[in-house]
Structure 1
Amino acid sequence: MWGATLRTTALVCGATLLGACAQNYGNRVAATSDSFRAGGIETAIAAHDKAHEGVKPEDLDLLYFLERGELMRLRKDGLKPSTDAWFKATEKIQVWEEDSRSKLTKSAGELGAALLSESFNRYDGQDYEKVMLSTRLAQNHLMAGRWDDARIEIRRMYERETLIASLREKEVQALKDAAEEKGAKDTEVKLKDIKGYPVEIFDDPEVTGLRNAYQSAASHYLAGFVFEALNEPSLATAGYRQAIELRPDVPMLQKGLEGVATSKRVPAGKTDVLFVIESGSMPARETVKITLPVPIGAGVKLLSTSYPVIRPAKDTFIPTSIKVGDASVPAAMVTSLDAMARRALKDEMPGAVARSMVRMVVSGAAQEALQRNGGAFGSLMSLAVGLTSAATESADTRQWRTLPANISLARAVVPSGALPVSFTTPQGSFRQEVKVDGTYALVVLRPLGNSDLSALVSQPGAGLVAAAPAKPEPAKRNARRASTTVASKGAAKGQ
């Protein structure tokens, strides 16, 4: 009797301590995030390295490689280390993919039991993070002129979305059934009934209007654009249509589909450019502690638990147009990663509630048994269990923090060659000169701090160049293969 009780007590205390690393992720990357938001990329990279001092290379987790890939991409000449970091992240995601395929073969009971134990374990990334990893790797390939590799990464994105859809569909009922078997019969607590939880973060129309937490209109439009450039009209049509289905309220998405339908041709000496404007930074995951009534034995105990919360990003600037040369090109926000993060959290909450209820039932039962059967020693042990649970109970705050909050798109056919690109924000005007070549090009723009602008420009791939220059020198040819990553320093308002 006492052996079983003590084992339960040890399990409860141990389980509450397992999440220490996950709970403190926000603190761990605070210096990195602050420097990144201020536009100090080198400082942010140094802070990121310092936060992982002493960690063995084989112990670096998914988030390390996701964040490092993003930081290095914004550094001059950082394309290759960025891609290498994201290849490492892909290896981590592939482990999750194999595990997920295995889960799909399990019975509902086996799957539910596994889900109940998945708290503060290996971080496999949010669903939208997995999809964005493929999207950003595809962009990196385009920056290096590897359009065929971008195509492969886009197909991987499609496969990943299909796996996510299948897995999430099977998990819902399995988790509920498993929780009820463990005595947590009230796992279907509605969010609005959890006193103290800010349910308004889920009521945003941008959140409620999302089909799911992983499909991005920006990603699917990029897919359509790449397939169009590679002269694969049927796949281009599918990509554009998916983007339209995800955001039917954005007219510019329809124009991409119309271009494929009419078999439009890009005039010689001009380039069809897709501009991706990334703004804002992802808000942090935080912890909110909640006290819930939990039925234990013949009575009810008030026990504490914690849930994650994501409050909407404050830096919500969204451009409505950009200036390309002398022309104003309309821009439209097509993907809010901020909203996708909150939708992912909303979808995650039933599982989080089920796991917290099971933990509280086990903890409460252990405390009651100790008090009832252990005398003075049992009362002390019961107090220790309660204090340990209260002190260490905290939500998982891990999240890819260096992603932008919003992604806007603009598209225009412009003269090939160098041209200035600019747009205005509440902080001032950002301006950068970019050089586009070939029939199709991608330009990714991201403001850094209050004055700098990062511009990533794709390089022409095989069969995409409209008119190649005559006999380029070897040094110039090599330079064309490299990423163009530039930042304008101190761009003053009105420049």
Structure 2
Amino acid sequence: MARLKTILCRTAGFGVVFLAMGCQSGYRNSAAGLVSLERQGAYVAAADLAAEEARNHLDDETDRVIFLLEAGRTAQIAGRVDDSIRFYEQAYEIIRPFLDSEAEARVTEAITTTVVNQTLAEYRGTPVERIMLSTLQALNRLMMGEFDQARIELNRARDWQQDAVDKASKEIERAEKRLEKKAGSEGISRKALKVPSELRSIQESMGDLTPYADWRNPFTSWLRGIFLMANAVDSGDLGNARFDLREVISMMPSFEPVAGPDLAALESASLTPTTWVVFMSGLAPEYEEYRLDIPIPIGNVNYVAAAFPVLKSMKGSLAGLVISDGDVESEGALLANIDAMVAADFEKRLPVIVMQEVLSMALKTTATWAASQAAGDGSGLVNLIGIVYQAATTAADLRSWRTIPKNIYAARILTPDAGFVTVRTSEGRELGDMEVVPGAFNLLVVTLPGSGPHAPSTQSIRLDPGPRLDENTLPESGNTSEAGSSGGRNERSIPG
């Protein structure tokens, strides 16, 4: 009886188990609510919900980063740039230390995720999300006319990408070796630790991931390139702009019709005021739970049940981009496939995710079997407790940044003197007439998370120094520049 009492006392950890279940459920419900609101065009309501969730989870080290990312993005889509900046800053400050040093898991965290599941690990953002965080923050800074801060954010985005190349692969390799060693000590074969064919098939359905190897993000490189074109202070800036645009074309050859003219302008040593349009369509993929029985003989059991995350693309997004100034029409091209970026990153991490989950479930099954053997007459109750415990703790980590776009398209046109650009999709869906500063370099950002009839979120950004639209510098004619009205396009020489 005393032995049974001891075993039952060990189940006090159920409090942690059900806390973990509650956290996962709370996040999923919140994310589902945000996605639903965004797809309906209820941008303000989504921003309100995300802000409340972020404030409620500031002291929750496990999930606070993912809630801050969602709050920052939904505020950005709703046009609350100040709020978005603050949420992004908070997220950055939390994950910033991992840029300087190796992000080793805490001992207690590693123990907890093995005993329970990976949903209890502190969420720190994936490399893709960290790069997008700094890139989207750069857009915020540009919207506010804070060019120096925008430059810093774009450099941070590049730092995150380089950090992933330098450290992430090595960390994954080290984790695989540690888990293989642990599994070997528990008598678990290497074969049982391999990624199951079912998961491989699902992953392969995400398409060609080659352009996004090494965590490359063509949107980040392109944005940095056109920013440096419009704000070059020396030849070094323009050299970097050329490098960035060449990099984009190498990643996305189909984008050459858009990036090529800008690269040619840089190489010919003169720039003409240009307006670029970005269309952020749809929402990023989500993770779903996929359960499998893994063949590992333990006691009188031949299989252990395991839960893995698998990617699922979000449907219901518009495709393509066409812009016009009333006389000239320009067709855009796909700049970045966020689905493929997320999938490429996930593919690198998947072996470790599988190994950790299989090892975790094997250890829990072994513990249940050993406890039932020791319990004697109470083995039935112990088995029941073990079954409940395993069922409660078999959960895949489904956290991801849901409100970033699915696809990013871009187009370019010489800045029209009339001060307006018409934007539509390739299928003819009108996205609106947007105002630009004549005689200047402009960036128009159009965001439509869903495919319904609701209006998109839009921002008009002046990319070069000078009065912005929100400073009421445009007369009714809409034909002006910093120095006053302009009778034609102003060609700007490249600084030497």
**TM-score category (smaller protein):** 0.7 to 0.9
Q: Report the counterpart of residue 349 of structure 1 in structure 2.
A: 350
Q: Quick one: distance in 2 between partners of 1:134 and 1:272? A: 24
Q: What's the offset of the Cα at 1:16?
A: 4.9
**Is the CA contact 1:211–1:246 (under 8 Å) kept in the aligned structure 2?**
no
Q: For residues 36 and 146 of structure 1, do their structure 2 counterparts lie closer, same or farther at Cα, with a shift above 3 Å needed?
A: same
- 1:261 equivalenced with 2:261 (yes/no): no
**Is the CA contact 2:218–2:252 (under 8 Å) kept in the aligned structure 1?**
yes
Q: Report the counterpart of residue 255 of structure 2 in structure 1.
A: 250
| Greater per-residue helix proportion | 2
Runs of 4 or more consecutive aligned structure 1 residues displaced over 4 Å after TM superposition: 5-18, 49-60, 111-118, 187-190
Correspondences of 1:234-313 after superposition (within 5 Å): 234-252=239-257, 253-266=259-272, 271-296=273-298, 301-313=302-314
* 1:236 counterpart letter in structure 2: A
**Is the CA contact 1:289–1:307 (under 8 Å) kept in the aligned structure 2?**
yes
Structure 1 range deviating more: 453-462 or 81-90 = 453-462
**Is the CA contact 1:416–1:437 (under 8 Å) kept in the aligned structure 2?**
yes
Structure 1 range deviating more: 242-251 or 331-340 = 242-251
Q: What's the offset of the Cα at 1:437?
A: 4.6
Q: Report the counterpart of residue 492 of structure 2 in structure 1.
A: none
Q: What's the offset of the Cα at 1:179?
A: 1.5
Q: What's the offset of the Cα at 1:433?
A: 2.4
Q: Quick one: distance in 2 between partners of 1:116 and 1:142? A: 44
**Is the CA contact 2:41–2:456 (under 8 Å) kept in the aligned structure 1?**
no
RMSD: 3.6
Q: Report the counterpart of residue 82 of structure 1 in structure 2.
A: 84
**Is the CA contact 2:298–2:366 (under 8 Å) kept in the aligned structure 1?**
yes
Q: What's the offset of the Cα at 1:62?
A: 1.3
SS class of match (2:271): coil
Structure 1 range deviating more: 429-438 or 11-20 = 11-20
* 1:165 counterpart letter in structure 2: V
Q: Quick one: distance in 2 between partners of 1:218 and 1:47? A: 28
* 1:160 counterpart letter in structure 2: W
**Is the CA contact 2:284–2:404 (under 8 Å) kept in the aligned structure 1?**
yes
Q: Quick one: distance in 1 between partners of 2:226 and 2:427? A: 31
Correspondences of 1:310-325 after superposition (within 5 Å): 310-325=311-326
**Number of residue pairs the alignment of both structures matches:** 459
SS class of match (1:436): coil
Q: Quick one: distance in 2 between partners of 1:245 and 1:112? A: 40
Q: Report the counterpart of residue 32 of structure 2 in structure 1.
A: 30
Q: Deviations for 1:34-56, whole angstroms, at most 9, x for unmatched residues?
A: 11111011222233345467545
**Is the CA contact 1:116–1:354 (under 8 Å) kept in the aligned structure 2?**
no
Q: Quick one: distance in 2 between partners of 1:459 and 1:284? A: 34
SS class of match (1:415): coil
Q: What's the offset of the Cα at 1:204?
A: 3.5
Q: Report the counterpart of residue 163 of structure 2 in structure 1.
A: 163
Q: Deviations for 1:98-142, whole angstroms, at most 9, x for unmatched residues?
A: 4x43649x9xx9x99999799221111121110001111111111
Structure 1 range deviating more: 44-53 or 277-286 = 44-53
**Is the CA contact 1:416–1:435 (under 8 Å) kept in the aligned structure 2?**
no
Q: For residues 13 and 174 of structure 1, do their structure 2 counterparts lie closer, same or farther at Cα, with a shift above 3 Å needed?
A: farther
SS class of match (1:211): helix
**Is the CA contact 1:179–1:185 (under 8 Å) kept in the aligned structure 2?**
no
* 1:207 counterpart letter in structure 2: L
Q: Deviations for 1:232-284, whole angstroms, at most 9, x for unmatched residues?
A: 21111221122223223432333332222121321xxxx31121111111232
Q: For residues 384 and 199 of structure 1, do their structure 2 counterparts lie closer, same or farther at Cα, with a shift above 3 Å needed?
A: same
Q: Quick one: distance in 2 between partners of 1:216 and 1:476? A: 35
- 1:326 equivalenced with 2:327 (yes/no): yes
SS class of match (1:398): coil
Q: Report the counterpart of residue 453 of structure 1 in structure 2.
A: 456
Correspondences of 1:398-413 after superposition (within 5 Å): 398-413=399-414
Q: What's the offset of the Cα at 1:336?
A: 0.9
Q: For residues 305 and 429 of structure 1, do their structure 2 counterparts lie closer, same or farther at Cα, with a shift above 3 Å needed?
A: same
Q: Deviations for 1:371-404, whole angstroms, at most 9, x for unmatched residues?
A: 2221132342233122221233111111111111
SS class of match (2:436): strand
What is the TM-score with the length of structure 2 in the denominator?
A: 0.82
Q: Quick one: distance in 2 between partners of 1:146 and 1:209? A: 31
Q: Report the counterpart of residue 119 of structure 1 in structure 2.
A: 118
Q: Quick one: distance in 2 between partners of 1:103 and 1:264? A: 48
**Is the CA contact 1:286–1:397 (under 8 Å) kept in the aligned structure 2?**
yes
SS class of match (2:140): helix
Q: Which runs of 5+ in 2 are unaligned?
A: 475-496
Q: Report the counterpart of residue 376 of structure 1 in structure 2.
A: 377
Q: Quick one: distance in 2 between partners of 1:8 and 1:437? A: 74
Q: Report the counterpart of residue 154 of structure 1 in structure 2.
A: 154
Q: What's the offset of the Cα at 1:211?
A: 1.4
**Is the CA contact 1:35–1:43 (under 8 Å) kept in the aligned structure 2?**
yes
Q: For residues 112 and 71 of structure 1, do their structure 2 counterparts lie closer, same or farther at Cα, with a shift above 3 Å needed?
A: closer
Q: What's the offset of the Cα at 1:11?
A: 9.3
Q: What's the offset of the Cα at 1:366?
A: 0.7
Q: Quick one: distance in 2 between partners of 1:461 and 1:209? A: 30
SS class of match (1:401): coil
Q: Quick one: distance in 1 between partners of 2:307 and 2:426? A: 37
- 1:65 equivalenced with 2:83 (yes/no): no
Q: What's the offset of the Cα at 1:68?
A: 1.5
Q: For residues 10 and 171 of structure 1, do their structure 2 counterparts lie closer, same or farther at Cα, with a shift above 3 Å needed?
A: farther
**Is the CA contact 1:220–1:240 (under 8 Å) kept in the aligned structure 2?**
yes
What is the TM-score with the length of structure 1 in the denominator?
A: 0.82
Q: Which runs of 5+ in 1 are unaligned?
A: 479-495
Q: Quick one: distance in 2 between partners of 1:125 and 1:210? A: 17
Q: Report the counterpart of residue 481 of structure 1 in structure 2.
A: none
SS class of match (2:247): helix
Q: Deviations for 1:72-101, whole angstroms, at most 9, x for unmatched residues?
A: 22224x111111211112112213334x43
Q: Quick one: distance in 1 between partners of 2:418 and 2:144? A: 17
**Is the CA contact 1:283–1:311 (under 8 Å) kept in the aligned structure 2?**
yes
Q: For residues 116 and 58 of structure 1, do their structure 2 counterparts lie closer, same or farther at Cα, with a shift above 3 Å needed?
A: closer
Q: Quick one: distance in 2 between partners of 1:245 and 1:172? A: 27
